[in-house]
Amino acid sequence: MSKPLILVSNDDGITSKGIRVLVSAMQKLGEVVVVAPDSPQSGMGHAITIGETLRLTEEETFQGIKAYKSSGTPADCVKLAKHYILKDRSPDLIVSGINHGSNTSISVLYSGTMSAAIEGALEGYPSIGFSLCDYSSDAEFSHVEEWVEKIANQVLQNGIPKGIALNVNFPPKQKENIKGIKVCRQAEAKWQEEFDERVDPNGRRYFWLAGNFVNFDKGEDNDEWAIANNYIAIVPCQYDLTAHHAISQMNKNWNWDELK
């Protein structure tokens, strides 16, 4: 039987440390093709390039692996892979990351890493976004590669429900081994933001986004709790943002006849 075809992307750029670790893990499971941004695209969310040129160049960063870098966003990279690079083939799995920094809780909405995974789910492919909850410049990835391989293999063997992408976050390396995996929900947390007003050398005003992450969630069944307690957090995410529970409530309590 032929090996599974695995598409690898990310948002930190094709030269990042995390994507090298991810490619290494995926090579143990199947045939790997890489399509990733040519520069960091963190915080791009699900942005796509419209009205501007998209560049795509073959890259020799990964020996023996077909790899391409794109001027576009992570979502662009998955689109280019599906419609151009792999137009006559279908990937068995799409993986994104390993992101350098957390994508737990509300950060999933802003994450370029998860946008690549969610774009894969939109196209009907099993998809996973991997992130390491460590922002330090010398973050250690050695403790996650084995887990990345195991989780990806589980998806290849068992599949994911249609329209779902997995948001996988790893705790930073600690003295004790990772305790295990928690399949959990997204924590109720958010960034309390502020804009720092500054002046550039030419006397022109500009702003720098700052703020603090605040966790309001006291539960023990969410991704923030899992990471804080040295577990891997896996949150199944869907691109259907419909608040289904609100439909019946609005139809029952709102007087739509007044608007006729």
Range of the domain at 12: 5-187+218-242
Q: Tell me, what's the pLDDT at 165?
A: 98
Q: Tell me, what's the pLDDT at 191?
A: 87
Q: Tell me, what's the pLDDT at 179?
A: 97
* Mean pLDDT of all residues in 133-144: 91
* Mean pLDDT of all residues in 41-52: 91
Q: Which of the four pLDDT bands, split at 50, 70 and 90, describes residue 1? A: low
C-beta of residue 7 within 8 angstroms of C-beta of residue 89: no
pTM of the model: 0.93
Q: Tell me, what's the pLDDT at 96?
A: 98
Angle at 94 between CA 3 and CA 84, to 5 degrees: 90
pLDDT digits (tens, 9 = 90+) for 6-16: 999 999 999 99
* 137, pLDDT greater than 80: no
* Mean pLDDT of all residues in 43-60: 93
* Mean pLDDT of all residues in 132-141: 90
Residue 131 lies in a domain: yes
Q: Tell me, what's the pLDDT at 84?
A: 96
Q: Tell me, what's the pLDDT at 63?
A: 85
pLDDT digits (tens, 9 = 90+) for 158-171: 999 999 999 999 99
Residue 230 lies in a domain: yes
Cα separation of 212 and 190, whole Å? 9
Residue 233 lies in a domain: yes
Residue 203 lies in a domain: no
Residue 206 lies in a domain: no
In degrees and rounded to multiples of 5, residue 128 shows phi and psi of -140, 135
Strands of the sheet with 127-132, listed across from one edge: 56-59, 66-70, 31-37, 5-9, 93-100, 127-132, 164-170, 232-238, 181-183
* Mean pLDDT of all residues in 167-195: 95
Cα separation of 158 and 133, whole Å? 26
pLDDT digits (tens, 9 = 90+) for 209-231: 988 889 999 999 999 999 999 99
pLDDT digits (tens, 9 = 90+) for 87-116: 999 999 999 999 999 999 999 999 999 999
107 is in an annotated binding site: no
Residue 253 lies in a domain: no
Q: Which token pair is 242?
A: 């419909």
Number of domains making up the chain: 1
Cα separation of 74 and 63, whole Å? 22
* 146, pLDDT greater than 80: yes
Residue 210 lies in a domain: no
Q: Tell me, what's the pLDDT at 239?
A: 94
Q: Which token pair is 248?
A: 């019946």
The label of the residue with tokens 């720092």 reads 196
Cα separation of 14 and 38, whole Å? 6
pLDDT digits (tens, 9 = 90+) for 112-122: 999 999 999 99
Q: Tell me, what's the pLDDT at 43?
A: 87
Q: Tell me, what's the pLDDT at 104?
A: 96
Q: Tell me, what's the pLDDT at 107?
A: 93
230 is in an annotated binding site: no
38 is in an annotated binding site: no
* Mean pLDDT of all residues in 195-219: 93
Amino acid identity of residue 256, one-letter, is W
* 151, pLDDT greater than 90: yes
Identify the CATH number of the domain in which residue 169 sits. 3.40.1210.10
Residue 260 lies in a domain: no
Task: Return the closest-CA partner of residue 128 out of 156, 90, 89.
Answer: 156
Q: What is the DSSP string of the chain?
A: -PPPEEEEE-SS-TT-HHHHHHHHHHHTTSEEEEEEESS--TT-TT----SS---EEEE-SSTTSEEEEESS-HHHHHHHIIIIITTT---SEEEEEEEES---GGGGGT-HHHHHHHHHHHTT--EEEEEES--STT---TTTHHHHHHHHHHHHHH---TTEEEEEEEPPP-SSPP--EEE-BPPSEEEEEEEEEEE-TTS-EEEEEEEEEEE----SSBHHHHHHTT-EEEEEEES----HHHHHHHHHHS-GGGG-
* Mean pLDDT of all residues in 16-33: 96
92 is in an annotated binding site: no
